[in-house]
């Protein structure tokens, strides 16, 4: 009796000590046997990664909790080329981490060497639309046609130029790969894998890709300490101590001429879509493609400018090569299109070209470079887990 209680007390303390080695963590997510098998294909941590998002002080909400196990499944799916028809393309092929989850081509390469009809969109701040802005969030794609990442992903898988797969085929490919069973079981606590789980996992991963550690974010957080989101724009307009004089001058130009659409805090854009006068006629009608109203023609999503220095070429059609060229566009290239936004028109209705001096242009360029978040580009949680 006595020996028994000593042994159990000993066992209990060993259990407690080992359990306490990593406080708050499940020691192992997968059995040793599964982990060994998975390690032949992918390199993911045996214990949990921390995917929770912590927002800067100037966001209305401070954090959002993310299920690490589900995000980990999403990470593997995001990088898995087996999920495209000819196994040549994954989500990451057109959304590369080292360039803020965009790609460097005007039109991306999909399966069988086909090309997309539009320029890839950088993913570094999708969260702000999906999570933070709740039901009134900004829909996805250049023409706002997808309501959620689930919806977007299903369309992307099925797109004949992108991945060429219906969801039942995607699920079939998932079931073929031995590493998914333990991944999904650990995340969803069920043996059966469904298409909804696949879409949910991708969505959770994509929404966890937060990017708010740029120089601009750091400086705005220092300026805006009140914790109220309502007057962030005012804080963003004040000079930042950590900025150079050129960056501050560029910021003023931005706040006066660009923030009415692209937002003052680089969060959700102030308007969902607009026409910025790239051309006098549009072959791709943007919103007008699926909501055929005359007033929707030529309207495109107002994209985030986070990490903008990395994500060229620019615009829905990749028609503008460099950031300096973009500045030239707003300075002297705005075209008189029928649906050109009011914000880019003079009172007589003609295009309001900003006519910036060379100094103004280089100041604005310096400001746009403060929006780059280097930490996003190397964060291991978002990186390619595949071994080869
Ligand atoms: C062949 C290239 C390609 C592949 C593969 C690809 N994308 Fe995209 N992605 C694009 C292009 C191009 C757009 C813009 C399309 C449009 O607006 O019509 C886009 C847009 C998006 C958007 C919208 C972002 C926004 O702010 O509106 C999200 C999210 C996204 N992709 C995630 C994914 C995910 C997840 C996968 C994998 C399931 C994926 N993409 C695979 C090229 C690709
Ligand atoms: C009327 C609203 C509006 C204003 C004002 C505006 N933009 Fe834009 N911007 C847009 C829209 C809409 C697009 C996408 C257009 C397209 O692809 O057809 C865009 C695209 C861009 C892009 C390319 C983004 C990408 O991912 O390809 C950059 C960079 C940009 N704008 C910078 C600026 C700067 C700098 C200013 C101020 C000088 C400015 N914008 C003013 C609406 C606006």
pLDDT of residue 138: 73
Structure tokens at 346: 């003079």
What pLDDT does residue 1 have?
Answer: 40
- What's the confidence (pLDDT) of residue 28? 78
Q: What is the distance in A from the centroid of ligand 2 to the CA of 93?
A: 25
- For residue range 137-189, what is the model confidence (pLDDT) as tens digits? 678 889 988 888 888 899 999 999 999 999 999 999 999 999 999 999 999 99
- Report CA(329)–ligand 2 centroid distance (Å): 10
- Nearest-CA neighbor of 122 among 339, 318, 287? 318
Q: Which domains does the chain have, with CATH numbers?
A: 27-211+375-382 (1.10.760.10), 215-372 (1.10.760.10)
The yes-or-no verdict on residue 2 having pLDDT over 60 is no
Average pLDDT in the 367-373 region? 97
> What CA–CA distances, in Å, run from 67 to 48, 52, 79?
10, 8, 19
192 has a pLDDT exceeding 60: yes
Please state, in angstroms and rounded to a whole number, the distance separating the CA atoms of residues 139 and 70.
23
Q: Give the tens place of pLDDT for each residue, 238-254.
A: 999 999 999 999 999 99
| Model confidence at 317: pLDDT above 80 | yes
CA pseudo-torsion sign 209, 212, 213, 215: positive
Residue 168 CA, chain-centre distance (Å), reads 26
Q: Using CA atoms, how far apart are residues 109 and 88, in angstroms rounded to an integer?
A: 10
Query: Could you tell me the distance, in angstroms and rounded to a whole number, from the CA of residue 312 to the centre of ligand 2?
Result: 13
Nearest to 123 by CA among 376, 362, 315: 376
Residue-averaged pLDDT of the chain: 88
Q: How confident is the model at residue 342 (pLDDT cuts 50, 70, 90)?
A: very high
Q: Does the structure show a pLDDT above 60 at 25?
A: no
Any residues with Cβ below 6 Å from ligand 1, and which?
Answer: 89, 91, 93-95, 108, 110, 116, 118, 120-121, 123, 126, 140-142, 149, 152-153, 156-157, 162-163, 202, 206, 301
Cis amide leading into 313 (omega within 30): yes
> Residue 13: which pLDDT band, with cuts at 50, 70 and 90?
very low
Residue pair 323/368 in contact (Cβ under 8 Å)? The answer is yes
CA 142 to ligand 1 centroid distance, Å = 10
Q: Which of 141, 326, 334, 367 to mutate to test the pocket of ligand 2 (most atoms within 8 A of CB)?
A: 326
In tens, the pLDDT along 173-183 reads 999 999 999 99
Distance CA 19, CA 47 (A): 13
For residue 216 the two structure tokens come to: 């601009």
pTM, 2 dp: 0.92
Q: How far apart are CA 331 and CA 351, in angstroms?
A: 10
Contacts of 335 (CB under 8 A, 6+ apart): 277, 278, 279, 280, 351
The C-alpha atoms of residue 173 and residue 183 are separated, in whole angstroms, by: 15
Tell me which residue of 44, 40, 41, 62 sits closest to 53, measured CA to CA: 62
pLDDT tens for each residue of 113-133: 999 999 999 997 665 544 444
């Amino acid at each position: 009796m006595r020996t028994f209680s000593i042994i159990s007390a000993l066992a209990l303390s060993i259990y407690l000590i080992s359990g306490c080695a990593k406080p708050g963590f499940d020691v192992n997510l997968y059995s040793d046997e599964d982990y060994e098998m998975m390690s032949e294909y992918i390199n993911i941590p045996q214990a949990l990664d921390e995917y929770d998002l912590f927002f800067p002080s100037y966001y209305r909400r401070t954090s959002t909790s993310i299920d690490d196990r589900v995000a980990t499944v999403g990470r593997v799916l995001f990088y898995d080329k087996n999920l495209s028809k000819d196994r040549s393309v994954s989500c990451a092929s057109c959304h590369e981490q080292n360039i803020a989850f965009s790609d460097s081509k005007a039109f991306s390469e999909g399966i069988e060497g086909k090309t997309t009809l539009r320029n890839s969109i950088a993913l570094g701040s999708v969260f702000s639309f999906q999570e933070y802005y709740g039901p009134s969030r900004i829909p996805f794609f250049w023409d706002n046609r997808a309501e959620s990442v689930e919806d977007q992903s299903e369309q992307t898988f099925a797109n004949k130029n992108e991945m060429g797969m219906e969801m039942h085929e995607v699920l079939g490919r998932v079931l073929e790969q031995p590493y998914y069973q333990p991944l999904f079981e650990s995340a969803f606590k069920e043996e059966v894998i469904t298409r909804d789980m696949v879409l949910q996992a991708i969505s959770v991963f994509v929404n966890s890709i937060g990017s708010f550690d740029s120089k601009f974010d750091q400086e705005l957080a220092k300026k805006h300490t009140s914790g109220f989101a309502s007057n962030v724009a005012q804080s963003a307009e004040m000079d930042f101590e950590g900025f150079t004089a050129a960056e501050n001058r560029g910021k003023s130009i931005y706040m006066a001429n660009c923030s009415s659409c692209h937002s003052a805090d680089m969060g959700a854009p102030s308007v969902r879509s607009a026409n910025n006068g790239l051309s006098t006629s549009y072959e791709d009608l943007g919103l007008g493609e699926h909501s055929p109203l005359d007033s929707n023609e030529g309207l495109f999503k107002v994209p985030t400018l986070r990490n903008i220095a990395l994500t060229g070429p620019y615009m829905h059609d990749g028609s503008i090569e460099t950031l300096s060229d973009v500045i030239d566009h707003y300075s002297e290239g705005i075209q008189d299109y029928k649906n050109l936004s009011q914000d880019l028109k003079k009172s007589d209705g003609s295009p309001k070209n900003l006519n910036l001096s060379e100094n103004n242009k280089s100041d604005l360029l310096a400001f746009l470079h403060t929006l780059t978040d280097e930490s996003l580009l190397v964060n291991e949680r978002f990186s390619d887990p595949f071994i080869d």
